[in-house]
Structure 1
Amino acid sequence: MSDISQLLTSLQFADSAFPSGFYTMSHGLEGYSQARLVKRGDVQPLLAGLLLHSVGPGDATALAAAHRAASDGDVDLVQEIDQLLFASKLNAEMRKASVRSGHQLIDLGAELMEQPILARYAERVRSRATPGCQPVVTAAVYAAGGVQTRQAVASDLFAFSASFVGAALRLRLTDHRHAQAVLLETAAVIEQATDAALERDLADLGGCAPMADVMSARHEKADARLFAS
């Protein structure tokens, strides 16, 4: 696959318009907002912290490992990584959100790309032999599309960041111009989190962001919610 084709594939699946379910998630931001712990100037630092200490060590590390396994056609290892990532997510809300998004992605991905690794993995997800967490599904889709591991990880971290900033917009924590500044400022953090995920051993998978876990747990039982997470 050419470099242009790889780029277009990663852009398509990372696009906010792609029906992955990311639009329904705030990735914990609504919990912070409900607790009045975040304001306009806190959006970028909070996003950076999540990328470096939660999403990067967890989701991105699993994505990198699963992408390598999928590229080798090792669906058993993809499933093992999927189960490990699911077990590392402490909050039921985050587990459900990841699986819901992953199922939507694998259904459409397997339909759009007739690749053996996707078909085999999709069957395991449908039979509930494996959870189907979004980062692992994304890894399999990108591998099937010929996207390189580094680009796959960076693309998914950008998709997370764009979704997070989109949630900030709807929560009125930012405006459209400031949102773009936040994304641009976060580019270096995405690169840092990508490099770390590529180098991290699978045995070290899992982040540590206690406050984010607390906010997610509170959000799960909130009386009113705009987002699923």
Structure 2
Amino acid sequence: MSAAIDRLLVSLQLTDSAFPSGLYTLSHGLEGYVQAKQVDAETMPVLLEDLLRHSVGPADATALALAHRAVTAGRWDDLVEIDQRLFASKLNREVRIASTRTGRQMLDTARIALGGEELDHYTALVVAKRSPGCQAVAAGVAYAASRVPAEQAVASDLFAFCVSFVSAALRLRLTDHRRAQITLRALSPVVAEVTATALERELADLGGCAPVADAMSGRHERADARMFVS
């Protein structure tokens, strides 16, 4: 098997909805918008685009790119700082918990499935509570350990986010299976744009700005009934 094919298969495996990272338990704030009656079938794709550009891209995608760079260079202190900065940028408790829970699940499974000393090293940092274990950083370590290029890693993880978000929309009855696929395909230029900008950012630029999404998350955290963790 060629190295390029192997790297592609790693990307497909890590972004597969069957990969047990726990993404299926998250709505990424969408349920909060539904509870507040602030989104419908027509505006759901627009909301997803906004979250990609102003929240996920500047925060998680940027952290993944920086983490990939740090692991490739063997700069573990930098990796810890990236992880801590990303964790601190998540203002809501349920979002922080969701990030570290899915991150640690991804890390545990990736160590078994993919192997690599980089994953072992990062696990030791998380177990020692030096590093929070955010999902985007765990993904960056897993991709770097498998020699998946940074651009492919960031784009793959952004697409996994989109699939998870649209899957939540399905369960919340904001879309159907066919429209979901149309939505995902239409997002390709946005994913490419967000990937490119994430790869250009430095640590000082890490952090999204989506105040309404934060408010919806806070509302969701206090809801009497919830289908999703976030």
The reply to whether TM is greater than 0.5 is yes
The 2-side partners of 1:181 and 1:113 are apart by 32
Residue 126 of structure 1, CA deviation = 1.7
The 5 Å alignment of 1:143-162 reads: 143-162=144-163
The 1-side partners of 2:202 and 2:106 are apart by 26
8 A contact 1:20–1:101 mirrored in 2: yes
Count of residue pairs brought into register by the alignment = 229
The 2-side partners of 1:77 and 1:176 are apart by 41
Instruction: Provide the residue aligned with 1:105 in structure 2.
Output: 106
Q: Do structure 1's residue 121 and structure 2's residue 119 form an aligned pair?
A: no
The 1-side partners of 2:126 and 2:202 are apart by 25
- Cα RMSD (Å) of the superposition? 0.9
Instruction: Provide the residue aligned with 1:165 in structure 2.
Output: 166
The 2-side partners of 1:224 and 1:13 are apart by 31
Counterpart residue identity of residue 139, structure 1: G
Instruction: Provide the residue aligned with 2:225 in structure 1.
Output: 224
Instruction: Provide the residue aligned with 1:138 in structure 2.
Output: 139
The 1-side partners of 2:118 and 2:152 are apart by 19
Counterpart residue identity of residue 56, structure 2: V
Percent identity of the aligned residues?
A: 58
Residue 75 of structure 1, CA deviation = 1.9
Q: Do structure 1's residue 49 and structure 2's residue 55 form an aligned pair?
A: no
The 1-side partners of 2:80 and 2:24 are apart by 26
- Describe the superposition over 1:26-66 as per-residue Cα deviations: whole angstroms up to 9, x where unpaired: 00000000011111011110000000000000000110000
Counterpart residue identity of residue 71, structure 2: A
Counterpart residue identity of residue 54, structure 2: H
The 2-side partners of 1:8 and 1:91 are apart by 34
8 A contact 1:75–1:117 mirrored in 2: no
Structure 2 length-normalised TM: 0.98
Q: Do structure 1's residue 59 and structure 2's residue 60 form an aligned pair?
A: yes
Residue 77 of structure 1, CA deviation = 1.4
Instruction: Provide the residue aligned with 2:179 in structure 1.
Output: 178
Structure 1, unaligned stretches of length 5 or more? none
Structure 2, unaligned stretches of length 5 or more? none
The 2-side partners of 1:38 and 1:88 are apart by 25
Greater Cα offset, 32-41 or 114-123: 114-123
- Describe the superposition over 1:94-139 as per-residue Cα deviations: whole angstroms up to 9, x where unpaired: 1000000001011111222331111111011122221100000000
Instruction: Provide the residue aligned with 2:38 in structure 1.
Output: 37
The 2-side partners of 1:101 and 1:2 are apart by 28
Greater Cα offset, 80-89 or 124-133: 124-133
Residue 3 of structure 1, CA deviation = 1.3
The 5 Å alignment of 1:49-88 reads: 49-88=50-89
Instruction: Provide the residue aligned with 1:14 in structure 2.
Output: 15
Structure 1 length-normalised TM: 0.98
Instruction: Provide the residue aligned with 1:89 in structure 2.
Output: 90
